[in-house]
Structure 1
Amino acid sequence: MASQHYHELVFLSTLLFLSISLSTQSHETLVFPVRKDPTTLNTSPAFTKRTPLVPVRLLVDIGNGFIWVICEDNYVSSSYRPARCNSTQCVLAGPTTCNTCDGTPRPNCNKNTCGLYVQNPISHVILKGDDLIDDVVLFRSIHGNFATVPHFLFSCGANILRDGLASGVDGVAGFGRTKIAIPTQLSSVFNIHPQFALCLSSSPSSNGFIFVGNGGNYKLAPGIDVSSFLMRTPLITNPVSTIAFSFPGEASSEYFIGVSSIKINGKAVKINTTLLDIDDKGVGGTKISTVTPFTTMETSIYKAVTMAFKKEAKAKKMKSVAPVEPFKTCFSSESMKSTRVGPDVPIIDLVLASEDVYWRVFGANSMVEVKEKGVVCLGLVDGGLSPRTSIVIGGHQLENNFLEFDLATSVLRFSSSLLFRQTTCANFYFGSKPLIWEYEV
């Protein structure tokens, strides 16, 4: 069933206090199990912080530049420390304000502390000057070891930033291209390669995973080496920040790729290709998002792609039915066959660096089951006439695809659907043990 909510990832930890210590000189890859919420159809993982340690649920936004956590009320931690104005921490975080708050010192109310501009990616509320703080955070390696980071930097958010977040979610976990995003901080602390990999399960009953670190040995049952079939394409930096408020000269922390054309069943779709480039104002291009539920396209691109898809669908004798919001192109599920990569529908290719490098979208990722029984819809949404970004690849299209973001080389390594290889994001192995850990809701 399609959900009107955003795809959400949450860090949610199991409280394990006795563990093998992971050295700060370790080269191990760190991992977060990810689970899709059975009610909202949002995707969810595991995170522990503060002293004493408590579980915290966070929406994961791969393009956000840092972690922010609601801590205006009931944030209790003996290891909490605000960052003072002009300190090393504030310089590392980038442009900040210098805050003064009257009253008893508490999280998000201190004197002479630096603050960040914090944005909720769902409600788009943005606040000026929320305190930059550090606190204890617990992380886990692929081998089951645990390590404590005593001074992990993040921002302390006000209650109003909770608007639009799912129940129980207390902030955002940012994996973006900044010095205080999760991959960069962990790379520095643990001496691991600055990269992360994302593999989201489509099922509420099985884990997907986010990996941070060296990678290179991702194994999937039955005995599949993921690195053996990954394509690669450059990650593009948008020179202009894409958030609602930014400083002059500030680049975007989001991840863009260079889509050069779109094909349906191998046939090029006629579109205005200038929209696929990023102009000098930061408008245009294609980005990857975990907070956008379904891929959005600028209106003229959307119309051209859906028309081409319907033409090819007609040739496959797929029966069109009434649209179901937010989708406009829907079909009877009885008029299409099932395959191991989802419904047998026209294949969509996002052509990248060259004709030989493309992101192939099969039926499992292009089609969405909706509330009307027997109806499936093309999971694309009209993004409007003048969107900031022409194409936003959304969460549904990411499920059971493996994506590795290498921040050091600015390269994205990616697969198409793992279903094509008769496996899923739930089937990772390291050594002889599957990555299966308890998941608390």
Structure 2
Amino acid sequence: MSRSFKFIFVFSIFFLISSSVSQNPILPKAAILQVTKDLSTLQYVAKVSIGQNLDPVNLVIDLNGPFVWFDCGKSISPISSHKTIKSFSLECSMAKSSTTTTTGYNSKTCTLQAENTISRMSTFGELNEDKVALNFWDGKDSDLFGNIDQFLFSCAPNLLLKGLAFGAKGMLGLGDSRISLPSQISNAFGFFQRKFSLCLSSSKGAILIGGSPHESEISSSMMYTPLIFKKNEGYHLNVNSIKISGKKLSLHEKGILGTKLSTIIPYTTMESKIYRTFVEAYVKASNSMNLTLVPPVAPFEVCFSSKGVEKKRVGPNVPIVDLTLQSDMVKWRIYGRNSMVFVSDEVMCLGFLDGGLSTKDSIVIGGYQLEDYYLEINLGNSMFGFSSSLLLGQKKCTDFDLSREL
């Protein structure tokens, strides 16, 4: 009996029992994880229940992380059912083939190099498997729970937790690898699509794997662009141009701008030359709207007075930023809600930062710019989907918090 078949079999029994009142078997359409934003670190955190006792473990979301890792000693109760994966096993081979993070050699156990992508620290940890309980949506109800009995993750030492949000015990990888969370769920439940969606906010949001209860409501506003896969460097897009208040920036010498998506950095960064051109154009556009520059507030370099600035559904009335993708018809429009950061009652700052001269990526889109957009990463067809700002339809990503406590 194959591994995937065993997953489906266990899961189906669980839902047949759960739905005994209606006498109809229930097949889930999506797995749902609640996401909260830690305001002190600006990191996004999800809770996963793992082990024999289904201990809750808080994990910082890393959109590009290859797998889940955490401090098993502090996160799992002593009666844990987790099992160490042996070297030369099929599971070990799969894990090592799905990531180029350095793998350690041990004659008995499978080890992977786990990385804290915030502190940039890394260390070896043993590959383990254990039961994971998840919240599911079946098309009508989101109060359903099911288990994956053989979920793979890496155990890491406590020292790797430095820099993570208070209470977080590791990181949850959503990257394009065979042992990332979305891949393992899709493999476990063969009827799931190989895609996941992300809806972040300044408070609560959700990760939805396989489908979404709100897909039909927002599908009309979704646009799609190809995902560019740079080997082991995460999810990328090609940005053809940047416009501010409808005017295209002069960035011809750069050509296509390699752009990375990230939940690890709080604000979008740009390569220094691009950033200087961007800031110059933004200040010029703000002058035409009678915005008043004020002294900068770190880490931001450009700040404005918010006195008298009109507040709209999509945030303060400031210059609109467009990231044009494969054509002028496909653009990611950033309104004031996602371009301005209020640092006080009277001061707002441009939430884009100088990423330096020597950067792997021309642009890295950070968490603040991702908030209150519905984002879809489809691993099946290598496409990235994004909605217009949900605030235009008087929605927020808090509306996508459908998960319940186990």
TM range (shorter): 0.7 to 0.9
- Structure 2 partner of 1:214: 211
Q: Secondary structure at the match of 2:300?
A: coil
| Structure with more of its chain in helix, by fraction | 2
- Structure 2 letter corresponding to 1:274: K
- Structure 2 partner of 1:36: 37
Counterpart among 63, 71, 92 of residue 94 in structure 2: 92
What is the distance in 2 between the residues matched to 1:339 and 1:98? 54
Per-residue deviation, 1:36: 2.5
Q: Relative to 1, partners in 2 of residues 1:61 and 1:313: Cα closer, same or farther, differing over 3 Å?
A: same
What is the distance in 1 between the residues matched to 2:19 and 2:232? 36
Q: Relative to 1, partners in 2 of residues 1:60 and 1:43: Cα closer, same or farther, differing over 3 Å?
A: closer
What is the distance in 2 between the residues matched to 1:171 and 1:116? 14
Per-residue deviation, 1:115: 0.9
How does 1:34-183 map onto structure 2 within 5 Å? 34-37=35-38, 39-72=40-73, 75=76, 76-95=78-97, 97=103, 99-100=105-106, 112-127=108-123, 129-142=124-137, 143-183=142-182
- Structure 1 letter corresponding to 2:260: K
Counterpart among 279, 292, 296 of residue 265 in structure 2: 292
Q: TM-score, normalised by structure 1?
A: 0.81
Q: Relative to 1, partners in 2 of residues 1:25 and 1:273: Cα closer, same or farther, differing over 3 Å?
A: farther
What is the distance in 2 between the residues matched to 1:149 and 1:162? 25
State the aligned residue count: 377
Provide structure 1 residue ranges, at least 5 long, that are not aligned to the other structure.
1-18, 101-110, 239-250, 278-284, 429-433
Q: Is the 8 A contact 1:318 1:335 kept in 2?
A: no
What is the distance in 2 between the residues matched to 1:230 and 1:151? 35
- Structure 2 letter corresponding to 1:115: T
Q: Is the 8 A contact 1:319 1:332 kept in 2?
A: yes
Instruction: Deviation per CA, 1:134-186: give whole Å up to 9, x if none.
Output: 11110111232111111100111112211111221100000000000011100
- Structure 1 partner of 2:282: 309
Q: Relative to 1, partners in 2 of residues 1:44 and 1:162: Cα closer, same or farther, differing over 3 Å?
A: closer
What is the distance in 1 between the residues matched to 2:321 and 2:85? 48
Q: TM-score, normalised by structure 2?
A: 0.87
Q: Secondary structure at the match of 1:146?
A: strand
Q: RMSD of the TM alignment (CA)?
A: 2.3
- Structure 2 partner of 1:401: 373
Q: Is the 8 A contact 2:96 2:103 kept in 1?
A: no
Determine whether 1:435 maps to 2:398: no
- Structure 2 partner of 1:20: 18
Q: Is the 8 A contact 2:69 2:170 kept in 1?
A: yes
What is the distance in 1 between the residues matched to 2:334 and 2:249? 15
What is the distance in 1 between the residues matched to 2:279 and 2:68? 37
Q: Relative to 1, partners in 2 of residues 1:163 and 1:40: Cα closer, same or farther, differing over 3 Å?
A: closer
What is the distance in 1 between the residues matched to 2:188 and 2:25? 6
- Structure 1 partner of 2:313: 340
What is the distance in 2 between the residues matched to 1:112 and 1:24? 42
Q: Is the 8 A contact 1:319 1:335 kept in 2?
A: no
Q: Secondary structure at the match of 2:227?
A: strand
